[in-house]
Amino acid sequence: MKRILLSTALILGVAGLAPAEQAKSGAMMPAWNMNASIIEACSCPMFCQCYFNAQPSAHHGAGGAGHGPEHFCRFNNAFKVNRGSYGAVKLDGAKFWVGGDLGGDFSKGMMDWAVLTFDKALTKEQRDAIGTIVGHLYPVKWNSMMTAEGEVAWNGGKDEAVALLDGGKSAEVRLKRNPGMTSDPVVIKNLKYWGAPRNDGFVLMPNTVEAYRVGPKAFEFKGTNGFMITFDIDSASVAQAAGKSGK
């Protein structure tokens, strides 16, 4: 997996620069929108408590012998864009991956690290557009944010979902739904997904494996949290939310 340099547009996007802040800096953002589905998994037990708390689950023994419980949320999010655009740049069918760790306490909006990996098929313009939109989807700061490129394979379904980065050599997520009262998946509704104003619900599917296999912070977990979700976000909604919050 090849590391690539951040462009100016991507730096603004990943940093989560709000529309109001862009206006102050003189930057002009074209209208944009994205509807995408995610195969997502993390190290927390089902269901990830990060959506209800400012601290991830405690993992006993993670720091080695003699250490107390360590809090972290190490995640892999594999995206497939259903439809989207950034000005004249079309994003339909684009695939990308975000892997990382939210850290032990994100009450102040500061996360630990993440790597945004673009599918090799994406153009520079598409990468810059996705970087900007991802910054609004996850409007937080990171101790470390890098980008990379690789081959993203994405296959979502009602009963199983599989996402592979570089054939699984770089990262892998496999989800399998638990039986519910019917043959339909268990879905959590009316829960906000980060900065997205709309979503179709969290389709709960625990992972059989979720792994990030490159770099010094590689990790692997089995049987922990997993879900699929389709979200919808656009520049007008983001600007409206920023105006209401006074940002």
- Which tens digits make up the pLDDT trace of 107-137? 888 999 999 999 999 999 999 999 999 999 9
Tell whether 82 is covered by a domain: yes
Listed residue (237, 198, 231) closest to 40, CA to CA:
231
Q: Are 197 and 189 in contact (CB under 8 A)?
A: no
Tell me which of 229 and 53 has the higher pLDDT: 229
User: Could you tell me if 73 and 112 are in contact, meaning their C-beta atoms sit under 8 angstroms apart?
Assistant: no
Beta 152-155 vs 160-165: how paired, if at all?
A: antiparallel
Tokens read off for 48: 């990830």
Q: What is the rounded CA–CA span in Å between residue 211 and residue 220?
A: 4
Contact status, residue 84 vs residue 34, Cβ threshold 8 Å:
yes
Which pLDDT tens digit goes with each residue over 170-208? 999 999 998 889 989 999 999 999 999 999 999 999 999
Q: How far apart are CA 200 and CA 209, in angstroms?
A: 24
Average pLDDT, the chain: 88
Is the pLDDT at 70 greater than 80? The verdict is yes
**% of the chain at pLDDT higher than 70:** 85
What is the DSSP track for 123-176? -HHHHHHHHHHHHHHS--EEEEEEEEEE-EEEE--SSEEEEEEGGGTSEEEEEE
The structural domain count of the chain equals 1
227 domain-assigned: yes
Identify the pLDDT of residue 27: 59
Q: Are 230 and 35 in contact (CB under 8 A)?
A: yes
Paired tokens of 195: 């900065």
Q: How far is CA 21 from CA 72, 85, 133, in A?
A: 30, 22, 15
Q: Flag whether 214 is in a domain.
A: yes
Q: Tell me the torsion sign for CA atoms 175, 219, 40, 10.
A: negative
Is residue 59 included in any domain, yes or no?
no
With respect to residue 141, please indicate whether it lies within any of the assigned structural domains.
yes
Is residue 64 a part of any domain in this protein?
no
Q: Is residue 26 part of a domain?
A: no
So what's the pLDDT on residue 102?
Answer: 96
Residue 174: beta bridge partners? 162, 209
Separation of alpha carbons 214 and 6, rounded Å: 19
What's the pLDDT at 68?
58
Domain presence at residue 27 = no
Whether residue 53 has pLDDT greater than 80: yes
**DSSP-assigned letter for residue 27:** -
Q: Which domain holds residue 44?
A: 2-18+33-50+70-245
Q: What is the pLDDT of residue 243?
A: 83
